[in-house]
Amino acid sequence: MTDKICVGAIAGAFGVRGELRLKSFTATPEDIATYGPLETEDGARSFAVTLTGQTTNALTARLSGVQSKEEADALRGTQLYVARDRLPSLPDDEYYHADLIGLEVFDSGGALLGRVKAVLNHGASDLLEIHGPGLKSTVLLPFTRAAVPTVDLATGRIVADPPEGLF
């Protein structure tokens, strides 16, 4: 498990006075402002977040130290992180995406299927993007209780019962 979790990304400037578009990766998008200062991945910069509104597919916000459109545009694509201990603990059947990435995936018979490369969500539900030996391309496994009955973070493994013909 990582010490920091990515909770959002800067999508670019919004207006000319340093306001910017902020994509939130939290379950409730507005919660991104409640976790305290957000940092860049390397920890070199830290920002206090003040939400100012919403726009299409993003929140609008002010970040401390960002005063102009040029400064906001220069931060486009910057991912924002928070220390794991400032995030709420999750129920037993919920996981932070960062905890799933890198886990090995085995079928119910114990054969290695691959490793989780990413967790994707295109609107309906989460998908585990799995890559591994013998796979010509990545496989998208639905992250449902039926297809993924066991997630064991302690041992770093997932047991999957994929739909017929997926692998």
Rounded-to-integer distance, Cα 14 and Cα 97, Å: 28
Task: Say yes or no: domain 97-160 is CATH 2.30.30.240.
Answer: yes
Could you give the C-alpha distances from 36 to 39, 111, 116, in angstroms and in order? 10, 43, 30
Do residues 17 and 61 lie in contact, with contact meaning Cβ atoms separated by under 8 Å?
no
**CATH pick for 4-86 out of 3.40.50.1820, 3.30.2090.10, 2.40.30.60, 3.40.50.10130:** 2.40.30.60
* Domain boundaries for CATH 2.30.30.240 within the chain: 97-160
Q: What is the mean pLDDT of the chain?
A: 90
Rounded-to-integer distance, Cα 160 and Cα 106, Å: 6
**For 37-41, 134-138, 152-156, which range has the lowest pLDDT when averaged over its residues?**
134-138
Angle CA 133–147–108, to nearest 5: 60
**pLDDT value for 88:** 84
Pull the structure tokens for residue 144: 């449902």
**pLDDT > 90 in the chain, percent:** 64
Q: What is the pLDDT of residues 11-37, one digit of tens each?
A: 999 988 899 999 998 888 999 999 989
